[in-house]
Structure 1
Amino acid sequence: MGMLLSVRGIRKSFGAVAALRHADLDMAEGEVVALLGDNGAGKSTFVRLLSGAGRPDGGTFRFGGNPVDLAKYSVRKARDMGIETVHQDRCLCEGQSLWRNMFVGRHVRTRWGFIDIAAEREATRVMLGEWLGLGGAGLDPDADVRVLSGGERQALAIGRAMYFGARLVILDEPTTALSLKEVNRVLEFIQALRDKGRSVLLVSHHVHQAYDVADRFLFMDKGRTVGEVRREGTSPADLTERLLSLAERRGA
């Protein structure tokens, strides 16, 4: 597997508060990395910077072997490069149809510049049925997002990332408030992304869920990446013990 992403020394402060002190991350193509850490560890800030929703104060960023100009980095630039982020409960508009959510900001156009509604509906139908296996659920491209369950919403957001050819998909707490069945479905989507050669950065508080799909685990604490372990030779209990050890040191 070739190296897809290499981040070194990323920093970010908000006034006098250092939210991110020093974050490093390497990701290979087709690799799933779980980002683990307690609340306040810096995970959310790190994800915002990687997604282009914020700009770091310092550090270096390479993607696909090419340096990224952080002064010009943005969500649009990240998407153009092949980085898609699925934020927890914030990536879909409930009052809009499934096909409009699929293509918001990136519409298919006719030769005359109009939105090609028929093409977008058909692409959404294919994505729901063939990619995500949701055709049997009776979902129609014209249905509103509000009719979807939590797991189906995550499926739509992940499917959108796949449709637009993401090379790296960042999932921010994708299983929060989902039923066990829906959690398993989301984990299946993550495995499907890896099988297609896509990389996934999974941000999660759920060690056992992360363990089921991740190849490697990266720990964050107090705005720093503080170590990593590979799945081979470790267990969920080992990961939990590592997190507890970080919490104890933080409280000392």
Structure 2
Amino acid sequence: MSTGTVAGAEKGTARRAPLVALRGVTHSFGAVRALVDVDLDVHAREVVAVVGDNGAGKSTLAAVVAGALVPDAGEVVVDGDEVALTSPAEARRLGIAMAFQDLALCDDLDIVENIFLGQELRRGGVLDEVAMESEAERLLASLAARVPSVRAPVAALSGGQRQAVAIARSLLGDPRVLVLDEPTAALGVTQTAEVLNIVERVRDQGHGVLLVSHSMTDVQAVADRIVVLRRGRLNGVFDASRTGYEDIIAAITGVGPGLRRGGERS
């Protein structure tokens, strides 16, 4: 058991069954092994950050959890039961939602239309605009997201506001696990702070968050545990509150002291 897992047990997270877990997950793209025998747990009320160098397998891992990729081997476990996540729709049915890195927003639609795209509310066979506006306002308020109006076109929003809309859309139906792939990529300092505040709010509302990020500053700001991938393999699980920047970088690069799987020093 790694140091991070031990510390998690002290705080109580490890005493509960994880909302979602990966056991021995492997996935390849042709001859390239993107993930090799990876284990992962995500509990309620915690942010698990996944870090690693380019090509380490971070986005592949996120896609497996979100049902966008089916692993070649291993198990995906939800609430203690092995499941087959064959699509994002199946993952959402089981309480797992993802906000993708490209956000997949439609610039020519307003905020309400983007949040409910493909999940529109109807009443008497027609769109229930009042209910959708009310729910959009509630979701954005729960995230403390500031937007000019829920009827503002997405094209007019800042990068941080667009990310808030994408996260609000992912929270429709109250999923228990939210997967975020590089949510602060290409954002400025102020917008990044807004998004990180949203991540903390999502966690504090009781969700589990799987955060893929290349920014160690962002990770150390919000993560409870940090999972390091190196060349597709798990190369350390760290308690963010007890681990320094140098140990994380050592695990990412494979140079110097770091944690091997099992918690032993390399």
- TM-score, structure 1 as length reference: 0.89
Match of 1:234 in 2: 243
Q: 1:123-162 residue pairs with structure 2 within 5 A?
A: 123-128=135-140, 130-134=141-145, 137=147, 139-162=148-171
Aligned CA distance change for structure 1 residues 18 and 242 (closer, same or farther; 3 Å): closer
Alignment match, 1:118: 130
2:143 counterpart letter in structure 1: L
C-alpha spacing 1:113/1:179, structure 2 compared with 1 (3 Å): same
Partner in structure 2 of residue 188 of structure 1: 197
Paired with 1:52 and 1:220, the residues of 2 have a C-alpha distance of: 19
1:42 aligns with 2:46: no
Do the aligned partners of 2:235 and 2:252 also contact (CA within 8 Å) in 1? no
Q: Could you tell which deviates more after superposition, 29-38 or 163-172? A: 163-172
* Partner SS for 2:71: coil
Secondary structure, aligned partner of 2:144: coil
Q: SS of the counterpart of 1:90?
A: coil
* Aligned ranges 1:20-31 → 2 under 5 Å: 20-31=35-46
Deviation at 1:159, TM superposition (A): 2.0
Cα distance in structure 2, aligned partners of 1:99 and 1:163: 12
**Following the alignment from structure 2 to structure 1, what is the Cα–Cα distance between the partners of residues 44 and 25?**
21
CA distance in 1, matches of 2:181, 2:119: 22
Percent pairwise identity: 38
RMSD of equivalent CA atoms:
1.8
Instruction: Give unmatched runs, 5+ long, in structure 1.
Output: 248-252
State the 1:55 CA deviation: 1.2
Determine which of 110, 114, 120 is the counterpart of 1:107: 120
**Does residue 67 of structure 1 match 2:79?**
no
Q: Please name the residue that 2:6 is paired with.
A: none
Could you tell me how far apart the structure 2 residues matched to 1:144 and 1:79 are? Answer: 26
- Structure 1 CA distance for aligned equivalents of residues 226 and 144 of structure 2: 29
How many aligned positions are there?
Answer: 241
Query: Quick one: structure 1 residues 246 and 199, their matched pair in 2 at CA, closer, same or farther if it must change by over 3 Å?
Result: farther
Distance in 1 of aligned mates of 2:173 and 2:92: 9
Secondary structure of the residue aligned to 2:133 is helix
CA–CA distance in structure 2, aligned partners of residues 188 and 80 of structure 1? 27
In structure 2, what is the Cα distance between the partners aligned to 1:98 and 1:232?
Answer: 36
Aligned equivalents of 2:72, 2:189: Cα separation in 1: 40
Q: TM-score, normalised by structure 2?
A: 0.84
Counterparts in 2 of 1:246 and 1:101: CA distance versus 1, 3 Å? farther
Rounded to whole Å, the distance in 2 between the matches of 1:216 and 1:104 is 33
- Please state whether the residue corresponding to 1:44 is helix, strand or coil: helix
> 1:123: how far off?
1.8
Decide whether the 8 Å contact of 2:154 with 2:162 is kept in 1.
Answer: yes
Where structure 2 has 5 or more consecutive residues not aligned to the other structure, the ranges are 1-12, 257-266
- AA of the residue aligned to 1:149: S
Deviations 1:32-68 (CA, angstroms, capped at 9, x unpaired): 1110100001111111121111211111011122220
